[in-house]
Structure 1
């Protein structure tokens, strides 16, 4: 992969990272941490515990998903720095640019990703 192409993907990944962090801050109401943004169980009105539990579970799921997305973005940026970005982690083949544009954090070529999903049916699918 040429330096110009790597730079393009690095810019795309940096933008994705910045957008995700901005979204997290907006959702949490600024620069507060997860604990400060969490709903206070003392403010729950009688009978609203089911709603409180549902909102807390949704918030936790979103946090886990966003944390995983940030981890994937940072890992892809590290692969760019290492010179391994765009190479399938399983077979070493070059991942097509169209796939990388659609999912710049992808680890595998399409054939290896399909094989991985068959072998690990509970794993989250990748584009």
Structure 2
């Protein structure tokens, strides 16, 4: 596969680094500040003397889910930056074919071509593709 163009390399690098900064800013906004403002993830963190137990559990579950999502997103972005720096971005990890430029521009963290992604979703019975 010929390497991606220098222009595409630059554009993807800028978008990935911006996405990483945005994701880190989201994490910081949720975790920085006064102790009372910080989200608490522990199971009983949202339980006060008069709190409803199911509501407290739901809030804790939501915080855990958001933290997991943010960690996964940062991992995807970091992996894409690594592939970009290694010259491996734009190559389908499943079949080795080129990933079209339009697909890379739409989702810079993408790891597979459309055909392989459709096959994976069919095998896993999911309709969810890569996200960023």
TM-score by length of 1: 0.85
Superposition pairs of residues 57-68 of structure 1, within 5 angstroms: 57-68=61-72
Matched, 1:28 2:24: no
Q: Tell me the matched-pair count.
A: 124
Aligned mates of 2:33, 2:64 — CA distance in 1: 18
TM superposition shift of 1:24: 1.2
Question: Among residues 74, 77, 81, which one is paired with 1:70 in the alignment?
Answer: 74
Tell me which protein shows more helix as a share of its residues: 1
Aligned mates of 1:105, 1:6 — CA distance in 2: 13
The aligned residue for residue 9 of structure 1 is: 12
The aligned residue for residue 114 of structure 1 is: 118
The aligned residue for residue 89 of structure 1 is: 93
Q: Which runs of 5+ in 2 are unaligned?
A: none
Q: Which runs of 5+ in 1 are unaligned?
A: none
What is the CA RMSD across the aligned residues, in angstroms? 2.4
Aligned mates of 1:74, 1:120 — CA distance in 2: 25
TM-score by length of 2: 0.82
